[in-house]
Amino acid sequence: MSITYINDLRNGLRELLKSDKTVYLIGEDIGDPYGGAFKVTKGLSLEYPNNIIQTPMSEQGFTGMGIGMALNGLKPIVEIMFGDFITLTIDQIINHLAKFYEVYQIDISFVLRTPSGGFRGYGPTHSQSLERLFFGIPGITVIAPSIINSPGKMITKSVYCNRPIIFIENKLDYSKVLLPTNKLINDICFINPIDSVQNFPMHKITIPEMQPEATIITYGGMVPACMKVQEELLMEEEISTEIITISNLTDIDFTSLLNSIESRKVITIEESWEKFGWGSYITSKLTQSKPFEHTSNIGAKNCYIPAAKELEDYVLPTTKTIYKRILEEIK
Amino acid sequence: MKNKNNIYKSLYLIRSFEQTLETYFSKGQIRGTTHGCIGQEVIAVAAINNINIEQDWITSNHRCHGHFLAITNDPLVLAAEIMGKNIGVLNGRGASQHIRLKHFLTNGITGGMIPIACGLALSKKLKNEPGIVLAFLGDGAMNEGYVMESLNLASIYHVPILFLLENNMYAMSTRSANVTAGNYQKRIDSYDIPYFETKDNDYFTIKKTFQEAYKFVKSQTKPAFMECKTFRFCGHSKSDKKEYMSQQEIQKWNLEDPLLKIRKDISEEEAIKIEEEVKTIVKEAFQTASSSSPPDPTIILKHVAN
């Protein structure tokens, strides 16, 4: 049965609220009738009014408030309306939450969820993928589902893993239908979980019976774009690629990742800036273990995310630019 | 009289601890930094003596030794923590300003514990738990954005929190009056939070007002704010020579040393006895801490995420 990403996520939240009275949703405009800026929490405040805390516009304050609730055994899920606004929470997350977990040795259930990404013409302060700000900060785990993970299941896992989680959604994914695993998709590819990875899965998207010429590693909102590129490369150039999607962006199982790469060329793709990016860390770690014929990192151009469609498409990695780059690099 | 002796002993423990710490730092025997509370001890002791230590949570800040000692009466684990020893409260992970012991939490970011204290208070309300949150803060923190956000949050959600402002009039070297618009009372009034105040840095005045404020928070399940005017006799941190304070001001406050006030009500003989006893306890705590083992570096691998 097909379900959209947003409905799956909302179902996950609803199930959490239903089964666990210590779960609280906290954030701006998350109550009904509005139901959140992207409508993720729509309806939930009518069903569970005591566990939805609608806040004033005080991101630093209510993020810290959530951390305090978590210290006393509650399970807050804090929504930050746009991923761009996580800058306001950073002191509470890095200097408080992460330190309580690691320095004070406190198990803590705290999830901050936020929608990341552009391609919607929202302009420079409403289009960024700022999860990068938390990469490499000890004590913080960054999780990003995509259309091939159930965001509902992943938010549940995040709540019960007893450590600080930043949960990154992608605005473009909300309306998309989740894809099934172990089933031929569009007569082209199969999606399979990489079995050895615990808890937050990695998946591999492969074209059956063809040796991949390149391996694309990506996460979150870039997965649909990469699948489109995979399809076009096959149809137009008869080039086979494999895609590996990662959902735990910061605690990566590099052994499993290495073992599942079947080509000699690795290309990472992320929506955020390529400069000092997530992908360059991945390829750097991979090449320290094993030589590859080719590695490269694709991401946004090194400038702000502009609003006009032509400008935004010029800066962000679109299917067109990804296709072109991959073709150039593996030919 | 017995009671006054005990109070003087608690106060003198903090003073003696901070003075000993200053000596160790000045001799280069301790790494890192520290923020002393000499002159402000009465607030810590008056407040902590009048809460329910089993039920209440206490959040503190960088200037936390007084609060910690008022709660625990244990100079050894604090000295050891500051010296980076394994028997320290957190095995030397945090030192002077990063302390956690059960329901007591401090941190090194000015004002940063205040939103968290509001969350703790909200959790107590949601869980129907008895007790309140006592949140210490300094005048420097009053100009941090998230402290102002927290006052609003505490007020709109009716959480049982008592904000206790230790106003020593200086945010590090900056005179708070020079960088603060309006006054604290007007700010607090505007959030519909009851405001309590003490002006004389006197144990018994603070105790009386604190009890009223505490009772309000507990019985009403609502926030209250208490401002205690005080004075820091020592520098902001270990290397601070207080060049920004006038000699007149320092002398004026020294004459009103809150410890001397209580000492006057105790016989000279008893006071000396208490002082000698406390000095010995503190001296031995520092010596024991100093000669104890450092932590094994592998403890770092415990309870880390990545």
Residues of chain B contacting A104 with CB distance shorter than 8 Å: 90, 94, 98, 100, 105
CB contact A114 to B (< 8 Å): no
Residues of chain B contacting A71 with CB distance shorter than 8 Å: 105, 116, 119-120, 123
Residue with tokens 């909200």, as numbered in its chain: B122
Contact A64 B90 (CB under 8 A): no
Report if residue A185 sits inside a domain.
Answer: no
Does A265 share its domain with A214?
yes
Does A144 share its domain with A31?
yes
If one counts the domains in chain A, the total is 2
User: If residue A40 lies in a helix (H) or strand (E), which one and from where to where?
Assistant: none
Report if residue A21 sits inside a domain.
Answer: yes
Chain A interface, mutation test: which of B126, B157, B302, most A Cβ atoms within 10 Å? B126
Report if residue A198 sits inside a domain.
Answer: yes
Chain B interface, mutation test: which of A17, A104, A106, A135, most B Cβ atoms within 10 Å? A104
Contact A69 B122 (CB under 8 A): yes
Name the residue type at position B263. R
Write down the pLDDT at residue B52: 97
Q: In this complex, which of B123, B149, B303 lies closest to A68 when CB atoms are compared?
A: B123
Report if residue A182 sits inside a domain.
Answer: no
Q: Evaluate whether B127 touches B153 at the Cβ level (below 8 Å).
A: no
User: What CATH number does the domain containing A299 carry?
Assistant: 3.40.50.920
Write down the pLDDT at residue B106: 97
Report if residue A274 sits inside a domain.
Answer: yes
Write down the pLDDT at residue A186: 87
Residue A250 belongs to domain spanning: 190-330
Helical packing angle, B2-26 and B75-82, nearest 10°: 20
Instruction: Note the pLDDT tens digit of each residue in B80-91.
Output: 999 999 999 999
Complex ipTM value: 0.96
Residues of chain B contacting A101 with CB distance shorter than 8 Å: 303, 305
d(CA B231, CA B200): 10
Q: Evaluate whether B45 touches B10 at the Cβ level (below 8 Å).
A: yes
* Domains defined along chain B, listed by start: 2-301 (3.40.50.970)
Mean pLDDT on B244-248: 92
Q: Evaluate whether A277 touches A267 at the Cβ level (below 8 Å).
A: no
Does A206 share its domain with A263?
yes
- Is the predicted pLDDT of residue B38 greater than 70, yes or no? yes
- Is the predicted pLDDT of residue B2 greater than 70, yes or no? no
Contact A65 B93 (CB under 8 A): no
Mean pLDDT on B51-76: 97
Q: Evaluate whether B94 touches B64 at the Cβ level (below 8 Å).
A: no
Q: In this complex, which of B105, B129, B306 lies closest to A251 when CB atoms are compared?
A: B306
Chain A nearest CA to B129, separation (Å): 10
Q: Which residue of A has its CA nearest to B114?
A: A64
Does A213 share its domain with A131?
no
Helical packing angle, B75-82 and B65-72, nearest 10°: 150
d(CA A23, CA A18): 9
Does A111 share its domain with A69?
yes
CB contact A161 to B (< 8 Å): no
Contact A71 B120 (CB under 8 A): yes
CB contact A69 to B (< 8 Å): yes
Does A147 share its domain with A18?
yes
Instruction: From A144, A173, A202, give the residue that closes a domain.
Output: A173
d(CA B213, CA B211): 6
Mean pLDDT on B202-227: 98
Report if residue A183 sits inside a domain.
Answer: no
> Would strands B100-101 and B104-105 be described as parallel, antiparallel, or unpaired?
antiparallel
Distances (CA, A) of A89 to A93, B108, B169: 6, 17, 29
Does A87 share its domain with A223?
no
User: Percent of chain B having pLDDT more than 90?
Assistant: 94
Chain A nearest CA to B184, separation (Å): 19
CB contact A137 to B (< 8 Å): no
Across chain A, which has 331 residues, the per-10-residue mean pLDDT values are 94 98 98 97 98 98 98 98 98 98 95 97 97 97 96 97 97 97 91 85 95 97 98 96 97 95 97 98 97 97 98 98 94 80
Q: In this complex, which of A64, A139, A163 lies closest to B116 when CB atoms are compared?
A: A64
Residues of chain A contacting B57 with CB distance shorter than 8 Å: 72
Does A132 share its domain with A224?
no
- Is the predicted pLDDT of residue B306 greater than 60, yes or no? no
> Would strands A141-143 and A110-116 be described as parallel, antiparallel, or unpaired?
unpaired
Nearest C-alpha neighbor of B119 from the set B166, B153, B156: B153
User: What CATH number does the domain containing A142 carry?
Assistant: 3.40.50.970
Does A196 share its domain with A168?
no
Q: Which residue of B has its CA nearest to A107?
A: B303
Write down the pLDDT at residue B305: 66
Q: Evaluate whether A71 touches A45 at the Cβ level (below 8 Å).
A: no
Instruction: From A113, A147, A173, give the residue that closes a domain.
Output: A173
Instruction: Note the pLDDT tens digit of each residue in B250-263.
Output: 999 989 999 999 99
Residues of chain A contacting B149 with CB distance shorter than 8 Å: 56, 58, 60-62
Does A39 share its domain with A119?
yes
HEC sequence for B216-262: HHHHHCCCEEEEEECCCCCCCCCCCCCCCCCHHHHHHHHHCCHHHHH
- Is the predicted pLDDT of residue B1 greater than 60, yes or no? no
CB contact A141 to B (< 8 Å): yes
Does A166 share its domain with A213?
no
Chain B nearest CA to A318, separation (Å): 32
Mean pLDDT on B65-87: 98
Does A169 share its domain with A194?
no
Nearest C-alpha neighbor of B66 from the set B106, B30, B94, B29: B106
Write down the pLDDT at residue A197: 73
CB contact A158 to B (< 8 Å): no
Bridge partners, A54 (sequence order)? A27
Name the residue type at position B99. I
Report if residue A178 sits inside a domain.
Answer: no
Contact B118 A61 (CB under 8 A): yes
